[in-house]
A and B are shown apart, each in its own frame.
Chain A
Amino acid sequence: MTVASTKQPRHAAGPLYALGLEGSANKLGIGVLSHDPATNQTTILSNVRHTFVSPPGTGFLPKDTAKHHRTHFASVCAAALRDAGVSPAQLSCICYTKGPGMGAPLTSVAVGARALSLLWERPLVGVNHCVGHIEMGRVITGASNPVVLYVSGGNTQVIAYASQRYRIFGETLDIAVGNCIDRFARTLRIPNDPFPGYNVEQLAKKGGVLLDLPYAVKGMDCSFSGILAAADVLAAQMFAQDKLLAAGGALKEGETRITPEDLCFTLQETVYAMLVEITERAMAHVGSRQVLVVGGVGCNERLQEMMGRMAADRGGSVYATDERFCIDNGIMIALAGLLAWETGFETRLEDSTCTQRFRTDEVHIAWRED
């Protein structure tokens, strides 16, 4: 394994332990894992998550989300340590999400991480959230060098690895695909519990009529805001139909009765087809047959199915994880942080700030070979 030239790699006999703290969006995730640098064996010891769920029709606001994280930080952290049976003295480092994400929630967790670091006298490692998703996906699925589709409520990127960087091949030009789906769930007033995308997926399974929505692939990039606006227009038409029928009226001749099921079905088919297209193009460029889907939207079974069919046509396969690892969690931060720590990386206390914008390709992936 190659290491950064300026840093000294850290050697150890046996496994190293790390605590991971994640709170870049509405999930507070804290977990402990171990990694043995000699055998490259990763073991998950605990993975505790507490999600801030806002009422139907609303999203999660930074202030309320930060309050949620502060309220549950100590109890979730205590549960993660207890489940793992690991004491602070055994930890090599405390890993926290530096970014990208929402400022106030990120900072609330960073304050807690610093307090732990000072009380326990353990070093901090600031982690890029996207790199955490990728490393976790690679470990869980065993995909060695895949094209990565990273899809969540805040991010949409097609990524391929080259020369110690995760390079962004394509991305959204406006909102994330998960944000598009979450906000449409709000339009339909679908519950946010367990998460809006899950409930959209369940409705979509009962739909079957493909309504008319724009398709917005721009080269390697995607756009979702116009699709959301168009879907909202269709939803408004549906609500008008509801009202008309409830008042005893009738639809115009030849007018399609729009249903929430068909709307969810149409939205999913459209945006996932776009994602499959840009992912396939990246695979063709890179010459890879593996696709790894990570991020909260990655646990959508319809997306996995569509991606799997494309990959099979190319003689390859799709690698995906379930909600324990797909959706934001603490262990993915612990893993990416520990891998960096093993190469000699550490975040000094005075540098342990957060940043809302932190691109995936800014991180030097010192733990992977060229």
Chain B
Amino acid sequence: MADSQEFPCALTLDVPFPTARLASVALKSIQVDKELSPLVRRDFSIASPTSGAEGDNVEDTVLQIHYRATTNRMLRVAVNSFMESLALVIEVMENLDTDVLAAKSADTS
């Protein structure tokens, strides 16, 4: 495993979303920008919740990010940057998704 020797510092984040659509929006919004540092590798995927949800209609609602870096410092920088983008995307979802805007305009009219 050359990879784990070169990139020994790793972190996996599971970010649960209410729907598969929102998990997919978050992934697609953030994944376009390449990781700037060659000292950091990352993988995005979408998974189904591992616990709680049972039955046939388990949607893939969990955004999963796996970070690997050469040092803990690089790992921290990369993960912080990801968290900042994620916070923006979630705020946009909360305030500007079509259903939210429709509800807001129904309130005012």
Which residues of A are in contact with B by a Cβ distance under 8 Å? Answer: 66-67, 70, 73-75, 77-78, 81, 87-89, 107-108, 110-112, 114-116, 118-120, 349-350, 352-354
**Given A73-B88, A78-B95, A111-B88, is A118 in contact with B28 using a C-beta cutoff of 8 Å?**
yes
Q: Do residues B101 and A352 form an inter-chain contact, with CB atoms below 8 A?
A: no
A118-B98 in contact (CB<8A): no
> Considering the complex of A and B, which 7 residue pairs feature the smallest CB-CB distances, nearest first?
A114-B29, A74-B95, A118-B25, A115-B92, A115-B29, A70-B88, A74-B91
| CA of A118 to CA of B88, assembled, Å | 14
Contact with A along B26-53 (1 / 0, CB 8 A): 1011101110000000000000000000
Interchain nearest-CB distance for B98 vs A (Å)? 6
Name the one of A78, A88, A116, A349 contacting B32, with C-beta atoms under 8 angstroms.
A349
Contacts of A111 in B (CB 8 A): 29-30, 33, 85, 88-89
Q: Quick one: which of B26, B96, B102 has the most chain A CB within 10 A? A: B96
Cα–Cα distance between A367 and B102 once the two chains are bound (Å) = 34
Q: Which residues of B contact A114 (CB under 8 A)?
A: 28-29, 32
A-B contact pairs, 19 of them (CB 8 A): A70-B84, A73-B88, A74-B88, A74-B92, A74-B96, A77-B95, A81-B96, A81-B101, A88-B101, A110-B33, A111-B89, A112-B92, A114-B29, A115-B26, A116-B96, A118-B28, A119-B92, A350-B32, A353-B32
Q: Which interface residue of A74, A75, A352, A353 has the most chain B CB atoms within 10 A? A: A74
The interface size bin for chain B is 20 to 34
Residue of B nearest to A75 (CB): B95
Q: How far is the CA of A88 from the CA of B100 in the complex (A)?
A: 12
Identity of the chain A residue whose Cβ is nearest the Cβ of B94 in the assembled complex: A74
**Which residues from A are CB-within-8-Å of B57?**
none
B87–A70 touching, CB < 8 Å: yes
Q: How far is the CB of B39 from chain A (nearest CB, A)?
A: 18
B97 within 8 A of partner (CB): yes
Tell me if B10 counts as interface (CB < 8 A to partner A): no
Which A residues are in CB contact (< 8 Å) with B26?
A: 115
The interface residues of chain B lying within 8 Å CB-to-CB of A81 are: 96, 101
The yes or no answer to B20 lying at the interface (CB within 8 A) is no
Give the residues in chain A near B85, CB-CB below 8 Å.
Answer: 108, 111
Are the CB atoms of A116 and B101 closer together than 8 Å? Answer: no
Given contacts A74-B92, A353-B32, contact A87 B105 (CB under 8 A): yes
Beta-carbon contact of A87 and B101 below 8 Å: yes
Residues of A within 8 A of B74 (CB): none
Residues in B neighbouring A349, C-beta threshold 8 A: 28, 32
Report how far A78 CA is from B26 CA in the complex, Å: 19
B15 contacts which chain A residues (CB < 8 A)? none
Q: Within the assembled complex, what's the spacing in Å between the Cα atoms of A318 and B62?
A: 57
Known: A66-B84, A353-B34. 20 other contacts (CB 8 A): A70-B84, A74-B88, A74-B94, A74-B96, A75-B95, A88-B98, A88-B101, A89-B98, A110-B32, A112-B88, A115-B25, A115-B26, A115-B92, A116-B96, A118-B29, A119-B93, A119-B97, A119-B98, A349-B28, A354-B33
Residue among A107, A108, A110, A115 having the largest count of chain B Cβ atoms under 10 Å: A115
Q: Name the residue on A nearest B22 (C-beta).
A: A119
Residues of A within 8 Å of B98, CB to CB, are 88-89, 119-120
Quote the shortest CB–CB distance from B86 to chain A (angstroms).
9
Chain A: minimal CB distance from B50 (Å): 25
Task: Name which of B85, B94, B105 has the most chain A CB atoms within 10 A of its CB.
Answer: B85
A366 to chain B, nearest CB (A): 25
> Chain B contacts of A115 at CB under 8 A?
25-26, 29, 88-89, 92-93
Q: Which residues of A contact B92 (CB under 8 A)?
A: 73-74, 77, 112, 115-116, 119
Chain B residues within an 8 Å CB radius of A70: 84, 87-88
Q: Contact: A352 with B32, CB < 8 Å?
A: yes
In the bound complex, how far is the Cα of B84 from the Cα of A77, in angstroms? 18
Bound Cα distance A66, B80 (Å): 13
A334 to chain B, nearest CB (A): 16
